[in-house]
A and B are shown apart, each in its own frame.
Chain A
Amino acid sequence: MEQVSQLTEFGKIFLFLIIGILLVSATLFLSRSLSIRRPTPLKLSSYECGEEPSGNSWLQFNSRFYVIALVFLLFDVELIFIFPWTTVFGQKILINADPMWGWLTLIEMFVFVGILLIGLVYVWRKGDLDWIRPEQKLPVAESNIPLSVYDKINAEVYTVKPFFAERPQVQVESIAPANSPVSKPAFKPTFRKPPQA
């Protein structure tokens, strides 16, 4: 008995990809379910390169991301409709059967995309796609000194003290040697104890 394949050729490859993803997830799940978990407050705190973490890591994101994701989703759906069209548009057999086929499909797709482009223009014009830019603040110094004062200072001529290679004789107080042994800089690891209940 000859085995008849129940899957399309594309489907087989697609299944390979999906089963690959599922197996990776299954491995991750297995490692999680088999591992021993004994959480302490210290273990659960996030690692901040030795610093003590402060505040919450759960930040509230800008809601503009959401609008952009929505717009993306709509055009994602549009893409799904375009995809079957690309396989039949401009096919030689179909065009030979009816010469208007190519023009019909082309115009219909232009209408389809054109209507959706109105939406893009709307969103663009309403400023939903605008990103928040950092405001540039030029520093302003409030001072009553006119600029001519600075010009005057700049115009002045300063004489440089003469320099000699020989050190001038100055009485230097000798520092008394410290009695305590010299402490070298050293790394002292400290361990934080978990908060007692």
Chain B
Amino acid sequence: MTIEQLAFYVISATALLSALLVVSLKNFVRSIFLFFLTLFSMAGLFVFALADFVAVTQLVIYVGGVLVLMIFAFLLSNRELLNNPEASEQSGFLHYLPGITVSVVFLGVLLMVLLKLDPGEFQWIQQSKENTLKPTDNTIHYLGINIMTRYLLPFEVVSVLLLMALIGAAHLARKEKEQ
């Protein structure tokens, strides 16, 4: 086992474990701080897919932006709202049964697809056999050229979308204050 494989397994194990803890922990603040770990290890997994840019994006937007926003949501909220006693009373096997059923069925579907699928039968997989990334490729360079040529219009539309999101978010956040 090379050191890269070791790193891959460590990172994926951390991602899975911390993600499981995030959804199972009762304390919201702890689960949010564990979510940091999940996102960091997800960024590490993107590196193994030769997607360096996506990994950095993950760090900048999710760790630097979305999670900070989530933490702010906690700072702004009331503690009494979070300590909901009714939620903790409902526990036991019956309470978790729907969730367990859905996840087991989903796992079954995934396994079935994996076992029945023959990757050779799809044409687009056959065609893309030679068209793969190499570790020496400068992916961000390709990204820049593609954004500036083939995807120029979507690129500009994205700015309008971001503008809409900004104005909408500011409007919603302000409305609550005026009441």
Q: Taking beta carbons and an 8 Å cutoff, which residues of A are in contact with B?
A: 3-11, 14-15, 18-19, 21-22, 25-26, 56, 58, 60-63, 65-67, 69-74, 76-81, 83-89, 94, 104-105, 108, 111-113, 115-116, 118-120, 122-123, 126, 128
Contact = CB atoms under 8 A, between A and B. Distances in A.
Given A10-B52, A74-B165, A84-B147, A66 B73 contact: yes
A33 to B, nearest CB: 12
B68 A115 contact: no
A61 B159 contact: no
Nearest to B41: A22
Interface stretch (B75-83, B90-98, B105-113, B117-125): B75-83
A83 B61 CA distance: 13
B61 A77 contact: yes
B148 interface: yes
B170 interface: yes
B76 A63 contact: yes
A70 B170 contact: yes
A159 to B, nearest CB: 65
Contacts of B176: 63
Interface in B35-90: 37, 40-41, 43-44, 47-48, 50, 52-53, 55-57, 60-61, 64-66, 68-69, 72-73, 75-79
Considering residues A26, A86, A108, which has the most beta carbons from chain B within 10 angstroms of its beta carbon? Answer: A108
B55 A14 contact: yes
B12 to A, nearest CB: 11
Interface of B: 2, 4, 7, 10-11, 14, 37, 40-41, 43-44, 47-48, 50, 52-53, 55-57, 60-61, 64-66, 68-69, 72-73, 75-79, 135-141, 143-145, 147-148, 152, 155-156, 158-160, 162-163, 165-167, 169-170, 173-174, 176-177
Contacts of B141: 84, 87-88
Contact of B170 (A6, A21, A58, A128): A128
A56 B52 contact: no
Given A6-B135, A76-B61, A128-B174, A14 B47 contact: yes
A66 B72 contact: yes
27 contacts: A4-B135, A5-B135, A6-B135, A7-B4, A8-B47, A8-B137, A8-B139, A14-B52, A15-B7, A15-B11, A18-B40, A18-B44, A22-B37, A60-B76, A63-B76, A63-B177, A69-B68, A70-B170, A73-B65, A76-B61, A81-B147, A84-B140, A84-B143, A88-B141, A118-B163, A128-B170, A128-B173
B66 A73 contact: yes
B66 to A, nearest CB: 7
Contacts of B173: 63, 66-67, 70, 128
Contacts of A18: 11, 40-41, 43-44, 47
